[in-house]
Structures are given as structure tokens and as C-alpha cells.
Amino acid sequence: MTDMTTAARGPEPAPAVPADAAVESLEVAFRRLTQLMKRSARDFASAVHPELRPAGWVVLGAVLRCGQDHQPVTVGDVIAETGMDKSVVSRQLRSLSDWGLVTLSRSDADARVVVVEVSPLAHERLRVVRARQRERYVQILGDWSPDDVQQLERLLHRVADAFVE
């Protein structure tokens, strides 16, 4: 004989996954995603310049982000944005400059300050790479609902914000 209150409630919920197992599964997913994103970044970087490596890609991205409002971008800004050591940033900027992707000049206000600007060549190559990136995301997320994509975006920002805190 079936108890009517049990039947009305429906099936018993599945037992909760132990926190350690959930975190371990999440770590595996993050490692996998990190490796895939690194490979993707290497591919996109080499499309901008065949010798551009991930560190240079990060530096170039930082110069773009810092200069979005047409503000002068300094080496100090790039260091603060990337969290990289000054010597690494300087080395990457020299390479980017040698390849014609950025220009380096002294500040008019303070000759000790180096100002970095993304070149027209870099803007054009980055436009092409960004179009390829967007095509890839559309390919990956094309059958997702807009709500699912927005939820993913919110959750990723939430995770990123937690890392920053």
C-alpha cells in the first residue's frame, strides 16, 4: 500500500554530492578548459604574428584594454593590468614593437615614462582574429539558448570576481 503523502511529494531527491567530490569535478573541468583556452590563445596569437607567444598576447591585450578610452597607456599600466614582472612586460613590449604591433615613445609630461600605443597593423590583425574568435564561440554555443549563454556569462564573471577578491 502506498502512502498518499509520499506519492504526492514525488520521488525522493538524489542525495547531495559530497562537497569534496563536487570541487574535484570542478577542478577537472577548469583544468580542461584552461588547457583548451591556452591552446586557443596560442593559435590566435600566432595569427597576429608567428612569433607572438602567450605572454606577448596578454601584454598586447592589456595595452588594448587600458587604451580603450583613448587614454595614454604606460608600461606601469600594463604591469598593473597583467600582474607580470616589469622585465617580462618590457621584453614583450620590445618584441611587439620590433614586429610593428605597438609603438613605444617617451611621455611629453615625464620623459621617464614610456607610453605604449597599438599600431594600425595590430588593430587590423586583431580585428581578423576577433572575428575568428567570435565565429568559434558561435560554433561552440550556437545551439545554446540565449538564457543559457547569459547564465554562463554571469557565472563566469562570478567566479572571476571571487578570484580577484
| Residues ≥6 apart with Cβ < 8 Å to 128 | 47
Of 86, 105, 94, give the one whose Cα is nearest residue 56. 94
Rounded CA-CA distance 165/161 in Å is 6
Residue 93 has what pLDDT?
97
CA pair distance 101, 107, nearest whole angstrom: 19
Confidence of residue 124 (pLDDT cuts 50, 70, 90): very high
Q: Delineate the domains of the chain, giving CATH numbers in brackets.
A: 26-164 (1.10.10.10)
Element (H, E) at 31: helix 19-48
Residue 24 has pLDDT above 70, yes or no: yes
pLDDT of 81 over the 70 cut: yes
Q: Which residue has the higher pLDDT, 107 or 15?
A: 107
115 — phi, psi (to 5°)? -105, 135
- Measure Cα distances from 31 to 25, 44, 68, 131 in Å: 10, 20, 31, 26
Residue 165 pLDDT exceeds 90: no
pTM: 0.73
